[in-house]
């Protein structure tokens, strides 16, 4: 992996996979076609539904690279499920009643998130990149993806997770800081205070040489320049794409992101049973204090309530996932987001983007890997010199 390579590609930006509907084929295709790396979120879907989205994306994206994100299944503490979950459900009953909904149950595929069927499908019909969150895939699976020609990415939130992840030899790590929107990808479902991104990047860089994709609160090219200087090879942005027309998030959610009445984000288990960052609204404020660490049980319990709230245009009972930089999210096409980030990056690193060799040491890049992926040759910015 050559040191300067990141600067030979258009934009070192990965569009975060966003489960729950926000990042479907339209957004992923728009990002990949504009020179970033688009991602599908397979979480909460059946393998069949994931397969249908992959087929749709392949049509839209042509020969450009893209990724698919999987949830690594874990198990809730049975004691929490037996004792605390029923109490929480009882407390949520009035929320459901108010919206004419019923609390939900975990569907048959929900505990494993259809893991075996999804991994089998992605091995049978390989995609360019597969990323994992909420845990570490087994080394045999990482090896099988490598043999199938698929690059693998593991999400980490601590240096310890990074050390363990490096042991299964993925191609890249996503380093997710506390600033990030939605769920913390930490492998257990503990309540430890998450690390800020810059601190975490330094801690992870100290334990592994793997290329790192930085995630959490990144909204501008200058911030991306900062994480590249801090040892990252690229940046993964979620919230920055939430207001794009290609993003399929519900309208009241998009409106809330632009509404000055929402003034803060916070980590909470109230919606899903796992710590996740969202805009502070009534539901979060009322239920955060006693939400149990039961995931995905709480996610499926509250899903019908959140859906009914979205249908009723009531953002106060929805999960308004947002990173700490949400105020900077703009309503503009994904290609414009990428063009703006690229222009801001050029303001910082302009000389490095000339065809000549860069003037000094530059961060290691994931992008040689991306350029080896099918269709990457004709990305604006061209093929790297071998
Ligand atoms: C609405 C939403 C849904 C998300 N869903 C996923 C997911 O399914 N898988 C995943 O690995 N990360 C998911 N994330 C986290 C992102 O990968 C990333 O860490 C985060 O968006 C970075 O912070 P930012 O939102 O401030 O850019 C999600 C983020 C958001 C905002």
* 8 A C-beta contact, residue 337 and residue 230: no
* DSSP class per residue in 168-204: T--SEEEEE-TT-SEE---SS---PPPPPHHHHHHHH
Contact 69 CB / ligand 1 (< 6 Å) = yes
Q: Spell out the per-residue pLDDT of the chain, length 386, in tens.
A: 233 332 334 688 999 999 999 999 999 999 999 989 999 999 999 999 999 999 999 999 988 889 999 999 999 999 999 999 999 999 999 999 999 999 999 999 999 999 999 999 999 999 999 999 999 999 999 999 999 999 999 999 999 999 999 999 999 999 999 999 999 999 999 999 999 999 999 999 999 999 999 999 999 999 999 998 898 989 999 999 999 999 999 999 999 999 999 999 999 999 999 999 999 999 999 999 999 999 999 999 999 999 999 999 999 999 999 999 999 999 999 999 999 998 898 888 764 443 333 434 333 334 433 333 333 343 333 333 32
Answer whether the bond into residue 359 is a cis peptide, omega within 30°: no
Contact 184 CB / ligand 1 (< 6 Å) = no
pLDDT in the model for residue 76: 94
pLDDT in the model for residue 195: 98
Question: What single-letter DSSP state applies at residue 331?
Answer: S
Ligand 1 centroid to residue 182 C-alpha, Å: 5
* 8 A C-beta contact, residue 237 and residue 255: no
pLDDT in the model for residue 347: 84
> Considering only CA atoms, which residue is closest to atom 5 of ligand 1?
18
pLDDT in the model for residue 170: 95
* 8 A C-beta contact, residue 23 and residue 41: yes
pLDDT in the model for residue 383: 34
pLDDT in the model for residue 172: 93
- The alpha carbon of 370 is separated from its chain's Cα centroid by a whole number of angstroms, namely 18
Ligand 1 centroid to residue 183 C-alpha, Å: 7
Contact 185 CB / ligand 1 (< 6 Å) = yes
Q: Tally helices (H) and strands (E) across the chain.
A: 14, 11
Query: CB under 8 Å to 149, separation ≥6 — which residues?
Result: 126
Q: Which of 16, 28, 268 should be mutated for ligand 1, with most atoms under 8 A from CB?
A: 16
Ligand 1 centroid to residue 355 C-alpha, Å: 33
Q: Is the dihedral of CA 52, 54, 57, 62 positive or negative?
A: negative
pLDDT in the model for residue 350: 64
Q: Is the dihedral of CA 24, 195, 113, 373 positive or negative?
A: positive
Residue (of 136, 134, 68, 76) closest to 106 by Cα position: 76
Strands (E) located in 62-145: 66-71, 129-133
- Ligand 1 atom at minimum distance from 179 CA: 26
- Ligand 1 atom at minimum distance from 218 CA: 27
- Ligand 1 atom at minimum distance from 16 CA: 17
- Ligand 1 atom at minimum distance from 239 CA: 25
* 8 A C-beta contact, residue 185 and residue 134: yes
Q: Which domains, from first to last, does the chain contain?
A: 5-75+112-250+328-378 (3.20.20.70), 76-110+263-319 (no CATH)
94 membership: H or E segment, kind and range: helix 85-98
Ligand 1 centroid to residue 159 C-alpha, Å: 20
pLDDT in the model for residue 175: 98
Ligand 1 centroid to residue 216 C-alpha, Å: 8
Instruction: Tell me how far apart the alpha carbons of residues 180 and 137 are, in angstroms, rounded to a whole number.
Output: 22
Q: How far apart are the first and last CA of the chain?
A: 9
Contact 176 CB / ligand 1 (< 6 Å) = yes
Query: CB under 8 Å to 201, separation ≥6 — which residues?
Result: 175, 177, 212, 214, 227, 230, 231, 232
């Amino acid at each position: 992996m050559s040191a300067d390579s990141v600067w030979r590609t258009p934009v070192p930006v990965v569009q975060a996979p966003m489960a729950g509907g926000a990042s479907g084929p339209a957004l992923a295709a728009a990002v990949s076609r504009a020179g970033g790396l688009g991602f599908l979120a397979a979480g909460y879907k059946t393998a069949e539904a994931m397969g249908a989205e992959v087929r749709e994306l392949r049509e839209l994206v042509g020969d450009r690279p893209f990724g698919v994100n999987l949830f690594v299944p874990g198990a809730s503490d049975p004691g929490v499920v037996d004792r605390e979950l029923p109490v929480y459900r009882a407390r949520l009953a009035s929320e459901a009643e108010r919206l004419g909904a019923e609390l939900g149950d975990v569907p048959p595929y929900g505990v494993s998130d259809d893991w075996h069927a999804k991994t089998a499908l992605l091995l049978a019909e390989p995609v360019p990149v597969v990323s994992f969150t909420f845990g570490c895939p087994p080394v045999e699976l990482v090896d099988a993806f490598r043999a199938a020609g698929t690059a693998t990415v593991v999400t980490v939130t601590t240096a310890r997770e990074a050390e363990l992840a490096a042991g299964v030899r993925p191609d890249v790590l996503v380093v997710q800081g506390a600033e990030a929107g939605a769920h913390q990808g930490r492998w257990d479902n503990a309540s430890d205070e998450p690390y800020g991104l810059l601190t975490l990047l330094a801690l992870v860089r100290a334990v592994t040489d793997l290329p790192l994709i930085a995630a959490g609160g990144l909204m501008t090219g200058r911030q991306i320049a900062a994480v590249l200087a801090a040892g990252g090879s690229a940046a993964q942005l979620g919230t920055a794409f939430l207001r794009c027309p290609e993003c399929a998030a519900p309208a009241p959610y998009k409106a809330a992101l632009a509404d000055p009445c929402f003034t803060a984000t916070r980590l909470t288990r109230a919606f899903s049973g796992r710590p996740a960052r969202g805009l502070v609204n009534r539901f979060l404020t009322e239920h955060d204090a006693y939400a149990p660490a039961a995931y995905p049980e709480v996610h499926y319990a509250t899903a019908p309530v959140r859906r009914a709230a979205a249908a009723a245009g009531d953002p106060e009972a929805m999960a308004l996932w947002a990173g700490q930089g949400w105020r900077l999210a703009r309503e503009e096409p994904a290609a414009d987001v990428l063009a703006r980030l690229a222009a801001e990056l050029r303001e910082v690193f302009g000389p490095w983007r000339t065809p000549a060799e860069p003037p000094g040491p530059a961060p290691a890049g994931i992008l040689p890997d991306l350029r080896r992926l099918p269709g990457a040759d004709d990305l604006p910015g061209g093929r790297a010199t071998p």
